[in-house]
Amino acid sequence: MPTSSPFTSTAELSVEQRAGVLWLTITREERRNAMSHGVLAAMAQAVTEAQSHRDIRAIVVTGAGSKAFCAGADLQSANAFTTDYSEPHGHLAQVLRAVRASTIPLIARVNGACMAGGMGLMSMCDMAVAASHAVFGLPEVKVGVFPAQVLSVLQHLIPRRTLVEMCITGEPISSAQALAYGLVNYVDDDVDAKLDWLLSRMLDKSPAAVRRGLYTMKKVEAMAFEESMAFTESQIALFTLTDDAREGQKAFQEKRKPVWAGK
């Protein structure tokens, strides 16, 4: 059951803390959970705010209903892609920046069609679990634009030739193809059962190790080999100084389950 939460939902984004998991659910089912500027602003704020809450161990991003995860920008809106050309930071870009800075792992619960900007929301997450009926696509060329910002988080997830074909043809792929390409971690008829299984394998691990580990992973992605070696040499020393590292080693020696302090 949901617990009381310090987070605030909006009419278009439900922000709900369930034990150690923060759920961000786009609640625009009638519009196939298309992104609005309000959805993106609220999502960026929730991800940023979550960083200061040590009791939040994971963030799940999903859409309401079973037909669509997110259909991308709302093309019925007069300002589907921007509200102010004088503003250098767009709303989708701000969400991607907030997630890039997150040390809390994000999981996409892809409950249906994942298209255009929805591919960006899915790709920004550290892991993804998809329903068997989900489809994935980058149809922007069909309306005269291109998935430019999405490429920032998608380009390293799937083979380049596959990515080019999806961008240039605008044709979708199935969940089975998405799994084969490494776009998602798991596909299941029961997406919630598989998500719960994945969360259970995460939430019993050291909070300190996950937090600092995700920080380290994101930093080394953009580093050359020698730079990454110098950085990780110091990071591993810091890992061993945490209370969780001491507890983990002691629990191993005593053949018991560790009791994490998260510090």
Show pLDDT as tens, one digit a residue, over the chain (263 residues): 454 568 899 999 999 999 999 999 999 999 999 999 999 999 999 999 999 999 999 999 999 999 999 999 887 655 655 555 656 567 889 999 999 999 999 999 999 999 999 999 999 999 999 999 999 999 999 999 999 999 999 999 999 999 999 999 999 999 999 999 999 999 999 999 999 999 999 999 999 999 999 999 999 998 999 999 999 999 999 999 999 999 999 999 999 999 999 99
- The dihedral through the CA atoms of 125, 126, 131, 133 has a sign that is positive
pTM over 0.75: yes
